[in-house]
Amino acid sequence: MTNHIETYKGYKASLPFPLMRDMFALRKASFIDRRNWDIDSYLGGQYELDSYDDEDSFYILLAQDRRCTATVRLRPSHCRNFTREQFGFHLPLNGITDMNIWEASRFCINFNMQAHRDRKGLDIRTVSVFHAMVEHGLTYGIDSYEIVIDKAMYRILCRSDWHPTLLNQGTGSQSEATFYCFLPCNVEQLKKLRYIIEKFKTSNNVN
């Protein structure tokens, strides 16, 4: 196994089919097998995908040894999305428009592959996905990402110096606390995430 990680970004039709298939298998292992999520759209089999995995979704995937090791799904919030329809959360009426917001969902990493952790235990693959999200946001004029996360993910974001703005709270399929939040998407945030990545590379002699 190598330490080299490649980043892939794009819509479904533009990404390598074997890598997309591996991503859906990783989602099944992460959400169905490990977390025991009750996902209505999952009807069995080795892949987890739903009706939101269509031509409007943009994916960020990290690949190691040609296998998907981390991923997230992004969708414009003016399209139908998982957050609004499955959790019933809606944007606050404070002048924010859907055109400036994208949804981020289905984040997961492969725990069976080699981890790349810094001294605080933060997996650099996670930070790399976050960094790619902000890069994508700056390219597409995104002000914020809307997310629904649990306590563990909330802590990971804060440790990555990407601090969510809490908008609402609810419960997940296992009665766990969930948080509806915004994540800021700007140049300053990109610099913060890049700093963490560069610091990791320097301390681990990674090119």
Q: What is the pTM of this model?
A: 0.89
The pLDDT tens digits of the residues spanning 163-178 come to 999 988 877 767 778 8
Answer whether residue 45 shows pLDDT above 60. yes
Q: What is the pLDDT of residue 27?
A: 92
Whether 24 has a pLDDT exceeding 90, the answer reads yes
First CA to last CA across the chain, in angstroms? 17
Quick one: CA dihedral 152, 114, 127, 140, positive or negative? negative
Structural domain boundaries in the chain: 6-204
Q: Which of 48, 150, 59 is nearest to 102 (CA)?
A: 59
**SS3 at position 41:** coil
The secondary structure of residue 72, as a DSSP letter, is E
Q: Read off the pLDDT of each residue in 180-204 and give the average, rounded to a whole number.
A: 92
The CATH superfamily label for domain 6-204 reads Gcn5-related N-acetyltransferase (GNAT) (3.40.630.30)
Q: Using CA atoms, how far apart are residues 29 and 46, in angstroms rounded to an integer?
A: 8
Copy the structure tokens of residue 100.
Answer: 């400036």
Mean pLDDT: which of 91-95, 123-127, 187-191 is highest?
187-191
| Residue 83 CB contacts under 8 Å (≥ 6 apart), including other chains | 77, 89, 103, 105, 146, 147, 148, 180
pLDDT over 70 (residue 59)? yes
Of how many residues is the chain composed?
207
Q: Are 67 and 22 in contact (CB under 8 A)?
A: yes
73, β-bridge pairs: 59, 105
127 vs 152: CA distance, rounded Å: 15
User: Can you name the residues that pair with 39 across neighbouring β-strands?
Assistant: none
Neighbours of 157 (CB within 10 A): 18
Least confident of 7-21, 72-86, 111-125: 111-125
Q: Does the structure show a pLDDT above 80 at 91?
A: no
Token digits of residue 170: 């609810």
Please answer whether residues 25 and 46 qualify as being in contact, where contact means their C-beta atoms are separated by less than 8 angstroms: yes
Task: List alpha helices for the chain, DSSP H.
Answer: 17-27, 82-87, 124-140, 151-159, 187-204
CA dist., res. 107 & res. 109, Å (int): 7
Count how many Cα atoms sit within 13 Å of the Cα of residue 20 in the half-sphere of its side chain. Answer: 16
